[in-house]
Structure formats: C-alpha cells, structure tokens
Amino acid sequence: MANAGSTLYERLGGERAIAALVQDFYARVFADPKLAPFFAGVETERLARMQREFFAAALGGPIRYSGRPLNAVHADLGIRPRHLARFLEHMMATLADRAITESDRYDVYTRIHRYADDITGNAEIDV
C-alpha cells in the first residue's frame, strides 16, 4: 500500500499542504450564510493562525496548539449541532476535492469530531 507507515499529517502533505487545506476549508465556512454570522467581528488573522495550528496538531503534526481551549472559545457562541454538522460537511467537501483517500478523509473527520462537545457544549436538544 502506498505510503503505508507514514502519519496522517505526512500523507496530507505536511504543514504547507494542511495550511492551504485549512484556508480553503474556512473560506467555505465564511461563505456559508448559516455559519458566516458567527464569525462577524472576529479578528481573522489570529483566527486563521490558530486554526492552522490546531488542525496541524490534531492531525498528528509536530506542532503545539497555542490557542485558547476550544470549550472556552465556543461556549457562549450558541453553536448548535446543526451548525457543527455544516462546518464538518465543508471540511469533508474540501478534503474530497483533493487527492486524499477516503480512509484518510474519515481519519481526519474522526480526529476533528472528537471536539464536538467542546464546540456545542453537548447541546443535544434544540437541534
């Protein structure tokens, strides 16, 4: 099997490729009328830097996330599970547009979805 033994981070192309991927992904999030309002007034340069770091670290890269804890950041934003679902759909669509195997795409999903409760505060009602 090609690339057997490499880490997910390496298979995705390392730091530069993941930075490009995250940029493309968030462009889709900001263009989504159901998600864009959450980001109104947010300082985008810092946000982009933190997102790059977070994703690189979460995907197994040799990078330490230096941002705030995700639950503290998202707690008061009123993000419902349906918003998280759209966010993750954009992430999967971004991955699908690249030459990334299905198995790696779902590996990314698993690693990011792990933080779902931090984002929504585990809001299981009002979906």
Closest CA to 90 of 71, 70, 112, 75: 112
**Rule CB under 6 A: which residues touch ligand HEM?**
35, 38-39, 42, 46-47, 50-51, 54, 67-68, 70, 73-74, 77, 79, 83-84, 87, 112, 115, 119
Q: How far is the CB of 20 from ligand HEM (least distance, A)?
A: 17
Q: How far apart are CA 127 and CA 107, in angstroms?
A: 26
Three-state DSSP class for residue 113: helix
Q: How far is the CB of 29 from ligand HEM (least distance, A)?
A: 7
Q: How far apart are CA 105 and CA 100, in angstroms?
A: 7
Q: How far is the CB of 62 from ligand HEM (least distance, A)?
A: 17
Q: Which is nearer to ligand HEM, 3 or 69 (CB)?
A: 69
Closest CA to 56 of 95, 8, 121: 8
Q: How far is the CB of 10 from ligand HEM (least distance, A)?
A: 20
Three-state DSSP class for residue 4: coil
